[in-house]
Amino acid sequence: MSQHEPSVPTPARTSVVGAVVVLAAGQGTRMRSRTPKVLHELGGRTMLGHVLAAAEPLGAEQTAVVVGSGREQVAGHLAEVAPLALTVVQEEQLGSGHAAAVALDALPKVAGPVLIVNGDAPLLTSGTLVGLVDAHRSAGNVLTVLTAEVADPRGLGRILRDAAGAVRAIVEERDADEAQRAIAEVNAGVYVGDAAAVREALTRVGAGNQQGEQYLTDVLGLLVADGARVGGHRAADAADTLGCNDQRELAARRRTMNDRVLDGLMRAGVVVIDPLTTWVDVTAEVAAEAVLHPGTQLRGATTVAGGAVVGPDTTLVDTEVGEGASVVRAHCQLAVIGPEVSVGPFAYLRPGTRLARGAKVGTFVETKNATVGQGSKVPHLSYVGDATIGEHSNIGAASVFVNYDGVAKHHTTIGSHARTGADNMFVAPVSVGDGAYTAAGSVITDDVPPGAMGVARAHQRNVGGWVAKRRPGTPAAAAAEAAEARAGERAEDQLPDPAPGTSSEGPR
Ligand code: UD1
Ligand code: MG
């Protein structure tokens, strides 16, 4: 199962808000990065992707994302992950209030409740957003802000309540006095408000603050002054609300997200040996009774079936691992690893690798666009690219599937029950038939018919006495001389000849 929200089941609802507005135009100066802030990644999605995924169950008729800084990149990303979302350009980053106003101008027909959410809050869950909208509804509010009690409120807007506990205003830290800074309840940057009322109040927001920006947060105080019903809804889990403004916060949010994912997996029966060094994207799926060893990373659309053992020190990207397979110290991308397959230690499976049931890709083996049939083995030190290997075949150590002629890639086909020798080159396009053998050290350039032995290597020639003649006085010459002397002595002792049949009968 996917574990984006392990503890909060997503209620099935439609259209609880008229629109979702995501504020994502800010420069993100504090990230100190050329990548726009909301495109930074954690847990397998961008920050923006997480926010959109959390808002998805609200069933908004329209979703608008305000872009500005790095707009081409952000818009390009949106076209991929949320093609139906409306991209609204905020030409100048004049503040979160200005951004919200630009978005609502682009949604003139939207009435009723609108969710406005910062694009830099990747830990928000659907459950928290639905809880906010429900609280807003049942209180009959015009505006409800999501708040959280946090241990370290530094840098965040504080929630000002009156003696009766009613929310009165939000004050940014830069504009707060000492007493206000001591408040631990903060603005999460998520609001649900009546579209018309928010639209109107935004026209009255000024920029008379430390940053000279139009603050969305000022809408709350303005509506309170109007006598409108305004409320604050405390998030059950304050971690949900944490924003992400610099690399330290990004790393901390990534850790929290990973903790949540692993928590969900372990509750469901996945064995995680070392949660501190195991990283699983929200998009990956792991079945009960799979074992994840230290240093495992499961990224993207990776799936791991029950009884499979992954790691230590293994990265799987968009890779499928079948039941009972073992993947040790491997890096795999877009590979399909069948049930009971053995991969590694030290293997690199590149896109298009398909390993059928019980196959083996062993130590220091690289594969690409290669199918290895049921029970077939590539045990050691080999490159298998653009190849089809049948069933129950064995590829000798140090084999290279020579697939590239400098211009085009070519295919090699090895049949079933074939036995290829060590140190072979298969110069594609070429094939080795069912039940065929090849000799060690062969450069196979021609097809080997079924059942044949392909031999493609020079005959050995021994030049007797070469060392004594050409390297006299060396340790090699002395060793050779001593060996010859011992052989001479044995001959004198008339030792019997070695038993017949101990030499190899064919090429190895
Ligand atoms: C904001 C809130 C603060 C809250 C915190 C929660 C304001 C004024 N302050 O502070 O009360 O505690 O979030 O994380 O809103 N943006 C635009 N256009 C702009 C400026 C900002 O789209 O011109 C977007 C940003 O991309 C971001 C969001 O608005 O997603 C908030 O801006 P940011 O600069 O992160 O505000 P914070 O200082 O975090
Ligand atoms: Mg922020």
Question: Are the C-beta atoms of 418 and 392 separated by less than 8 Å?
Answer: no
d(CA 96, ligand 1 centre) in Å = 6
Of 169, 317, 146, 322, the residue nearest 242 (C-alpha): 146
Residues 467-478 pLDDT 10s? 999 999 999 999
Residues 44-79 pLDDT 10s? 999 999 999 999 999 999 999 999 999 999 999 999
pLDDT band at 4 (very low <50, low <70, confident <90, very high): very low
Residues near ion ligand 2 (Cβ under 5 Å): 120, 243, 245
**Cβ 94 under 6 angstroms from ligand 1:** yes
Tell whether omega for the bond before 429 is within 30 degrees of 0, i.e. cis.
yes
Percent of the chain predicted with pLDDT > 70? 94
What's the pLDDT at 140? 97
96, 117, 191, best to mutate for ligand 1 pocket (most atoms within 8 Å of CB): 96
Establish whether 40 is a catalytic residue.
no
Of 412, 418, 410, the residue nearest 393 (C-alpha): 418
pLDDT band at 134 (very low <50, low <70, confident <90, very high): very high
Mean pLDDT of 400-415: 97
pLDDT band at 502 (very low <50, low <70, confident <90, very high): low
Q: How far apart are CA 238 and CA 244, in angstroms?
A: 14
Q: Is the pLDDT of residue 252 over 50?
A: yes
Residues 150-209 pLDDT 10s? 999 999 999 999 999 999 999 999 999 999 999 999 999 999 999 999 999 999 999 999
Q: Strand 326-327 vs strand 167-171: parallel, antiparallel, or unpaired? A: unpaired
Q: Is 148 helix (H, G, I), strand (E, B) or coil?
A: strand
What is the pTM assigned to this prediction? 0.91
77, 87, 118, best to mutate for ligand 1 pocket (most atoms within 8 Å of CB): 118
Domains of the chain: 19-241 (3.90.550.10), 270-454 (2.160.10.10)
